[in-house]
Chains A and B, each alone.
Chain A
Amino acid sequence: MNLSEKPTHSLILKINGTDTILKIKPWTSLLDGLREYAGLSGTKKGCDHGQCGACTVLVDGKRINSCLTLAVMHDGHEITTIEGLGTLENLHPLQAAFVEHDAFQCGYCTPGQICSAVGLMNEGKVKTEDDLREMMSGNLCRCGAYSNIFDAVKEVINHKTGVLL
């Protein structure tokens, strides 16, 4: 499909703890790199323009929108996707809380919501319920499961940090 003369880049991303070599063209977004080249389709493409948060992953522990960054810019970085957070037998606390609180309908926004909530907890800035709503506002949910998403994240924050929102 691609007739470009532009050189292919070979880069190493530490994806979910494993060094992964990607051979890609420079214009491949990190999102496309993960989904199409690393075979990790858990991260979702919603808008592809930074407006929905479905593509949220963690780079060196910080949440970003993987659709608005180039994979080549992340050579040597540590990437965590939804696939890296838990296993079927041993769910990440946020995954378990999402199940328990029924924090989804179609589930399309869920990987992004969960990765975003992990990033939010790493940041440690949320002190009130309003903070939590504000700090999760980069993740839209087309099904409107917001109140249950809020409950799930709140429960895990309270459990982990003992800070009662």
Chain B
Amino acid sequence: MMSDFSFQRAKTPKEAVILLGLHKDNKVIGGGTNLLDMMKEGMTDSHEIIDINRMGLNKIIRNEDGGFLIGASVTNTDLAYHKEIEKHYPLLSKAILKGASPQIRNMATTAGNMLQRTRCYYFYDTATPCNKRNPGSGCPAKTGVNHIHAILGASESCIAVHPSDMCVALAALDAKVHIQGAKAEKIIPFVAFHKLPGNTPHLDNILAHDEIITGVELPANGFAKHHAYVKARERNSYAFALASAAVGYELNDNLLGDVRIALGGVAHKPWRNTEAEIFLKGKLPTKDNFRKAAEIILEGARGYGQNDFKIELAKRVVVRALEMAINNEVQL
């Protein structure tokens, strides 16, 4: 049963932000695929739901620098199949199409996807403690059912992972997030948007209550020539990642140039490790070098019992993705 809330439609981002500020439980809705799911579980209260889907943020615009601005309300389907995105940012298209189902992708929005919450079972089960849902109550996942949980960047208070596929590609592509605040607009790097849990696991990202995402900006380089998205999961479709990797690089005279590697399903945010990227720069694209880069990324990884397997799995996913990117192979 969903809570008792009122509904209205915002006409502009500024109006949406003002409406949000009126009550601590006011919420904007994109596709609703995560928000309504959580409301039905009784995990979150809503005072007013503000529909932001009719504010004109459903467009993909080409910027002067050759990059693109994706409106917050663009659906995952429209983004993945957009002709220019398929051509210049195939890594993004492929990552999105590995997520959820066609029906959900038709509903899910760009901003909503970024703001989806973890799939940690305890988080959804209101009968159990959970620091993310109820700060200070504890984290049963650490010693419980944790085969889907984090191996990198976790804290004593939370070992949850961010479940998005799209965000892994956006992290690799060095996208930027456009935010409308109560007073001003701001633009921040995508990699600085999501947070590690630390001792504030209830906060997934840096967005304030009275701020909304208006769009995501893609820089001109989409690594279309050499890229791959590899997702390991418990069934081959319609399941969240146990580990995934979005990679892109330049290859000149068989030497690696700029390299991007982002991992999904292993941490509280899409995981980048620039040390490994720099290690590969100027090197040959060999399995051996790729494995060394994977070792650098997973250095310091820690399992919690059931998820120990993820450490080796993540390394293999990284190596596989880097190998597939040589010829832009597609994971079936």
Q: Which listed residue, B7, B101, B332, touches A138 by the CB 8 Å rule?
A: B101
- A114 within 8 Å of B (CB atoms): no
A65 near B6: Cβ-Cβ < 8 Å: no
Q: Would you call the interface of chain B mostly helix, strand, loop, or mixed?
A: mixed
CB-CB under 8 A for A26 and B40, given A64-B106, A68-B33, A138-B102: no
Provide the bound-state CA to CA distance between A135 and B106, in Å: 12
| Interface set, chain B 100-151, CB cutoff 8 A to A | 100-104, 106-107
Provide the bound-state CA to CA distance between A48 and B2, in Å: 12
Hey, which chain B residues are within 8 Å of A130, CB to CB? 332
Q: Which listed residue, B51, B100, B237, touches A73 by the CB 8 Å rule?
A: B51
| Interface set, chain B 62-116, CB cutoff 8 A to A | 77, 81, 100-104, 106-107
Hey, which chain A residues are within 8 Å of B49, CB to CB? 26, 70
Hey, which chain A residues are within 8 Å of B39, CB to CB? 27
- A93 within 8 Å of B (CB atoms): no
Hey, which chain A residues are within 8 Å of B40, CB to CB? 48-49
| Interface set, chain A 45-80, CB cutoff 8 A to B | 48-50, 53, 56, 62-65, 68-70, 72-73
Hey, which chain A residues are within 8 Å of B51, CB to CB? 72-73
Binding site for A on B (CB under 8 A): 2-7, 29, 31-33, 36-37, 39-40, 49, 51, 53, 77, 81, 100-104, 106-107, 237-238, 332
28 CB < 8 A contacts A-B? A6-B6, A9-B7, A26-B5, A26-B49, A27-B3, A27-B4, A50-B37, A50-B103, A53-B103, A63-B102, A63-B106, A64-B103, A64-B106, A65-B103, A68-B31, A68-B37, A68-B104, A70-B32, A70-B36, A73-B29, A73-B51, A73-B53, A120-B102, A123-B102, A125-B81, A130-B332, A135-B102, A139-B101
Binding site for B on A (CB under 8 A): 4, 6-7, 9, 26-27, 29, 48-50, 53, 56, 62-65, 68-70, 72-73, 116, 119-120, 123, 125, 130, 133-135, 137-139
